[in-house]
Amino acid sequence: MHLTEKSYVDDDFADVDLSGEVIEAVRFVDCDFADASLVEVRTKAATFERCRFVGTELYGSSHHGTSFLSCTFERSAWHGATLTGCRLIGSTFTDCRLLPLTIKECDLTLVSLAGAKLPGVDLSGLRMREANLVGANFSSCDLRGADLTGARAERLDLTDADLRGARLDAAAWVGARLAGAVVDVDQAVLFAAAHGLVLTPAE
Protein backbone atom coordinates (compact mmCIF):
# COMPACT_ATOMS: atom_id res chain seq x y z
CA MET A 1 0.00 0.00 0.00
CA HIS A 2 1.16 3.53 -0.81
CA LEU A 3 -0.09 6.59 1.04
CA THR A 4 -1.47 9.26 -1.29
CA GLU A 5 -3.01 11.77 1.14
CA LYS A 6 -1.44 14.26 3.55
CA SER A 7 -4.06 13.71 6.26
CA TYR A 8 -5.98 10.68 7.50
CA VAL A 9 -8.68 10.83 10.17
CA ASP A 10 -10.29 7.76 11.77
CA ASP A 11 -8.93 5.50 9.03
CA ASP A 12 -8.38 1.77 9.40
CA PHE A 13 -4.84 0.60 8.58
CA ALA A 14 -5.18 -2.72 10.41
CA ASP A 15 -3.14 -5.50 8.80
CA VAL A 16 -1.85 -3.09 6.15
CA ASP A 17 1.69 -3.57 4.82
CA LEU A 18 3.59 -0.26 4.74
CA SER A 19 7.04 -1.84 5.00
CA GLY A 20 9.82 0.37 3.70
CA GLU A 21 7.53 3.33 3.04
CA VAL A 22 8.74 6.92 3.42
CA ILE A 23 6.13 8.94 5.33
CA GLU A 24 6.90 12.66 5.35
CA ALA A 25 4.69 15.42 6.80
CA VAL A 26 1.62 13.19 6.87
CA ARG A 27 -0.93 13.53 9.70
CA PHE A 28 -2.86 10.60 11.18
CA VAL A 29 -5.62 11.18 13.74
CA ASP A 30 -7.54 8.39 15.54
CA CYS A 31 -6.24 5.79 13.08
CA ASP A 32 -5.91 2.06 13.78
CA PHE A 33 -2.64 0.32 12.86
CA ALA A 34 -3.41 -2.98 14.64
CA ASP A 35 -1.23 -5.83 13.33
CA ALA A 36 0.07 -3.60 10.54
CA SER A 37 3.60 -3.96 9.16
CA LEU A 38 5.63 -0.76 9.40
CA VAL A 39 8.93 -2.61 9.18
CA GLU A 40 11.79 -0.27 8.16
CA VAL A 41 9.37 2.59 7.62
CA ARG A 42 11.00 6.03 7.58
CA THR A 43 9.01 8.97 8.88
CA LYS A 44 9.93 12.64 8.89
CA ALA A 45 7.86 15.40 10.52
CA ALA A 46 4.82 13.10 10.52
CA THR A 47 2.13 13.27 13.20
CA PHE A 48 0.25 10.35 14.76
CA GLU A 49 -2.42 11.54 17.20
CA ARG A 50 -4.44 9.12 19.35
CA CYS A 51 -3.51 6.28 17.01
CA ARG A 52 -3.53 2.61 18.05
CA PHE A 53 -0.58 0.31 17.38
CA VAL A 54 -1.60 -3.09 18.77
CA GLY A 55 0.60 -5.95 17.60
CA THR A 56 2.20 -3.56 15.09
CA GLU A 57 5.62 -4.33 13.63
CA LEU A 58 7.81 -1.22 13.70
CA TYR A 59 11.19 -2.89 13.91
CA GLY A 60 14.02 -1.36 11.93
CA SER A 61 12.01 1.84 11.45
CA SER A 62 13.45 5.35 11.75
CA HIS A 63 11.65 8.51 12.81
CA HIS A 64 12.93 12.09 12.60
CA GLY A 65 10.97 15.00 14.04
CA THR A 66 7.83 12.85 14.15
CA SER A 67 5.13 13.19 16.82
CA PHE A 68 3.31 10.29 18.47
CA LEU A 69 0.75 12.11 20.64
CA SER A 70 -1.40 10.11 23.09
CA CYS A 71 -0.88 6.97 21.02
CA THR A 72 -1.31 3.41 22.31
CA PHE A 73 1.45 0.87 21.65
CA GLU A 74 0.60 -2.63 22.85
CA ARG A 75 2.67 -5.73 22.03
CA SER A 76 4.39 -3.68 19.33
CA ALA A 77 7.85 -4.57 18.04
CA TRP A 78 10.28 -1.63 18.10
CA HIS A 79 13.61 -3.46 18.11
CA GLY A 80 16.23 -1.85 15.92
CA ALA A 81 14.21 1.38 15.63
CA THR A 82 15.67 4.89 15.76
CA LEU A 83 13.87 7.99 17.04
CA THR A 84 15.52 11.39 16.71
CA GLY A 85 13.94 14.68 17.78
CA CYS A 86 10.54 13.04 18.21
CA ARG A 87 7.65 13.84 20.57
CA LEU A 88 5.91 10.90 22.25
CA ILE A 89 3.85 13.00 24.66
CA GLY A 90 1.15 11.07 26.53
CA SER A 91 1.71 7.80 24.68
CA THR A 92 1.49 4.40 26.38
CA PHE A 93 3.79 1.42 25.83
CA THR A 94 2.57 -1.95 27.11
CA ASP A 95 4.38 -5.29 26.62
CA CYS A 96 6.39 -3.90 23.70
CA ARG A 97 9.69 -5.26 22.44
CA LEU A 98 12.01 -2.25 22.62
CA LEU A 99 15.57 -3.55 22.41
CA PRO A 100 17.80 -2.55 20.81
CA LEU A 101 16.52 1.04 20.58
CA THR A 102 18.19 4.31 19.63
CA ILE A 103 16.44 7.39 20.98
CA LYS A 104 17.90 10.91 20.97
CA GLU A 105 16.62 14.42 21.71
CA CYS A 106 13.07 13.19 22.28
CA ASP A 107 10.23 14.45 24.50
CA LEU A 108 8.58 11.67 26.51
CA THR A 109 6.53 13.91 28.79
CA LEU A 110 3.58 12.00 30.34
CA VAL A 111 4.60 8.79 28.57
CA SER A 112 3.79 5.49 30.25
CA LEU A 113 6.69 3.04 30.22
CA ALA A 114 5.53 1.10 33.26
CA GLY A 115 7.29 -2.25 33.34
CA ALA A 116 9.32 -1.48 30.21
CA LYS A 117 12.70 -3.18 29.84
CA LEU A 118 15.38 -0.80 28.54
CA PRO A 119 18.61 -1.90 30.26
CA GLY A 120 21.75 -0.31 28.88
CA VAL A 121 19.95 2.12 26.54
CA ASP A 122 21.31 5.63 26.06
CA LEU A 123 18.53 7.84 27.45
CA SER A 124 20.73 10.87 28.04
CA GLY A 125 19.11 14.28 27.69
CA LEU A 126 15.59 12.93 27.25
CA ARG A 127 12.63 14.80 28.67
CA MET A 128 10.52 12.38 30.74
CA ARG A 129 8.62 14.80 32.94
CA GLU A 130 5.66 13.23 34.76
CA ALA A 131 6.23 9.93 32.96
CA ASN A 132 4.97 6.67 34.43
CA LEU A 133 8.14 4.63 34.99
CA VAL A 134 6.77 2.30 37.68
CA GLY A 135 8.62 -1.01 37.63
CA ALA A 136 10.63 -0.13 34.52
CA ASN A 137 14.17 -1.46 34.06
CA PHE A 138 16.64 1.33 33.30
CA SER A 139 19.62 -0.51 34.77
CA SER A 140 23.00 0.51 33.32
CA CYS A 141 21.30 3.25 31.27
CA ASP A 142 22.98 6.52 30.45
CA LEU A 143 20.58 9.12 31.89
CA ARG A 144 22.97 12.04 32.04
CA GLY A 145 21.08 15.32 31.74
CA ALA A 146 17.67 13.61 31.51
CA ASP A 147 14.66 15.35 33.06
CA LEU A 148 12.57 12.98 35.19
CA THR A 149 10.86 15.73 37.18
CA GLY A 150 7.50 14.54 38.47
CA ALA A 151 7.97 11.02 37.10
CA ARG A 152 6.43 8.07 38.93
CA ALA A 153 9.48 6.03 39.86
CA GLU A 154 8.31 3.36 42.32
CA ARG A 155 10.42 0.22 41.77
CA LEU A 156 12.20 1.89 38.84
CA ASP A 157 15.45 -0.04 38.43
CA LEU A 158 18.34 2.41 38.10
CA THR A 159 21.01 -0.07 39.17
CA ASP A 160 24.42 0.97 37.77
CA ALA A 161 22.81 3.80 35.76
CA ASP A 162 24.68 7.06 35.11
CA LEU A 163 22.50 9.80 36.58
CA ARG A 164 24.93 12.72 36.56
CA GLY A 165 23.11 15.93 35.76
CA ALA A 166 19.70 14.23 35.65
CA ARG A 167 16.77 15.91 37.36
CA LEU A 168 14.88 13.66 39.80
CA ASP A 169 12.36 14.48 42.52
CA ALA A 170 12.66 13.27 46.10
CA ALA A 171 10.12 10.52 45.35
CA ALA A 172 12.50 9.04 42.77
CA TRP A 173 15.47 9.15 45.16
CA VAL A 174 13.39 7.17 47.63
CA GLY A 175 11.31 4.86 45.41
CA ALA A 176 13.83 3.79 42.78
CA ARG A 177 16.51 1.10 43.05
CA LEU A 178 19.84 2.92 42.94
CA ALA A 179 22.56 0.40 43.86
CA GLY A 180 25.73 1.22 41.95
CA ALA A 181 24.24 4.30 40.27
CA VAL A 182 26.71 7.08 39.41
CA VAL A 183 25.65 10.50 40.75
CA ASP A 184 27.19 13.94 41.14
CA VAL A 185 27.72 15.77 44.43
CA ASP A 186 24.52 17.82 44.20
CA GLN A 187 22.50 14.66 43.60
CA ALA A 188 24.14 12.95 46.56
CA VAL A 189 22.94 15.82 48.73
CA LEU A 190 19.39 15.46 47.35
CA PHE A 191 19.51 11.72 47.97
CA ALA A 192 20.56 12.26 51.57
CA ALA A 193 17.86 14.88 52.14
CA ALA A 194 15.19 12.62 50.59
CA HIS A 195 16.12 9.93 53.13
CA GLY A 196 15.79 12.32 56.04
CA LEU A 197 19.47 12.89 56.70
CA VAL A 198 20.53 16.22 58.15
CA LEU A 199 23.56 17.68 56.43
CA THR A 200 25.84 19.97 58.45
CA PRO A 201 29.35 21.31 57.83
CA ALA A 202 32.17 19.27 59.33
CA GLU A 203 33.47 20.64 62.63
At 169-201, the pLDDT tens digits run 998 999 999 999 999 999 988 888 888 887 777
Q: 81-136, pLDDT tens digit by residue?
A: 999 999 999 999 999 999 999 999 999 999 999 999 999 999 999 999 999 999 99
For 190, the 3-state DSSP assignment is: helix
CA distance 20 to 14: 17
For 142, the 3-state DSSP assignment is: strand
Which of 194, 192, 188 lies closest to 175 in space, CA to CA? 194
CA distance 51 to 48: 6
19-43 average pLDDT score: 97
pLDDT at 197: 81
CA distance 162 to 139: 9
CA distance 149 to 136: 16
For 181, the 3-state DSSP assignment is: coil
CA distance 135 to 130: 15
Q: 139-177, pLDDT tens digit by residue?
A: 999 999 999 999 999 999 999 999 999 999 998 999 999
Q: pTM for this structure?
A: 0.92
pLDDT at 199: 74
Is the pLDDT assigned to residue 70 strictly greater than 90? yes
Is the pLDDT assigned to residue 2 strictly greater than 80? no
pLDDT at 201: 74
Return phi, psi of residue 187, to 5°. Answer: -70, -35
